[in-house]
Structure 1
Amino acid sequence: MLSNQTFLSSLTRFSILSLGVLASFGMINRSPILAQMAQSNFTLANGVYLYGQSPEAEEIGQEYLVFKVHQGKVIGAIYLPQSEFNCFSGTLTANQMNLSIIDPNDGKKYPYPIAMKASSPVASQGQVSSEVILEGYHRLTKISNNDHRILKTCLQPN
């Protein structure tokens, strides 16, 4: 492993000059991007999401989550296609969705945590964006009418 001193002494005058020129023109200003990348706290923005164990929608035998996020709160459903669904509610923490799945028969709630992580960040025009990955699930972008119907049922107050 190279120490900082060894690394700096191995740079040529040309590469140091090049970095200085790029930095002076504002072409290297990575500190905001690096600071954003270093943050371990990330979350899902407000909106409606669909995640599935399969990267394809409506695959028989695969589990899907359709949910709405609003200010760190989550309400939605977990379902298997052509089967029943269970509503859930929960909260988002730094690296996890803490869900409580509701048994429709007795109303009892069961904890169901799902780990979250950010995909590799992509820097574009000074912004860092990364998609949130739910452990064991794939993000699906097309939310069907049936998904909306299921979600609407779970969003209705009891």
Structure 2
Amino acid sequence: MTMIPRFRAGLCLAAALVLAGCGFGHRMPEHECMERAMYFESNRSSRDGMVAVGSVVMNRVQSGQYPRSVCGVVAQKNQFAPGIMKRKMNLKTAPKVREAARSVLRGERHPLVGNAMFFHTAGHRFPYDNMHYVLVTGGNAFYEKRRNYLVTRPVPPHPIEGITGR
């Protein structure tokens, strides 16, 4: 009989951690979650690419359609790089990550990302007709989902030297 209350308590704790957006075993500060998103998603590229990834994360946090925390967004299943919350980072190979993450958390946003909440590896093509591309940088193509008749850029824009930081 005492096993059932303990089991329920364990389930409640696990459920609370998942609902808090951090996932079981992924309690870490917001800045580390943001660093992970930038590190694994921008392939340790330019600061421009890292800030663009961070801008998408923050757009999702503020949208009301995704978890309301940075860690909740980054830890969401099948949304970001596999193992993003568990894999080791080597910040020596990407010294700009920490500064870029903190800057985005303080309010910096990539000016061309706008309201985009999605990106994929640049160079990949998808058959969907609702992807309005706003930027290519850091090895990624950033886009908004729109009704197909509102899409004016169905192909990712070509990165221009000096504008996208490449």
Q: TM-score, normalised by structure 1?
A: 0.34
Greater strand proportion: 1
Q: Over alpha carbons, which structure has the higher Rg?
A: 1
Greater helix proportion: 2
Q: TM-score, normalised by structure 2?
A: 0.33
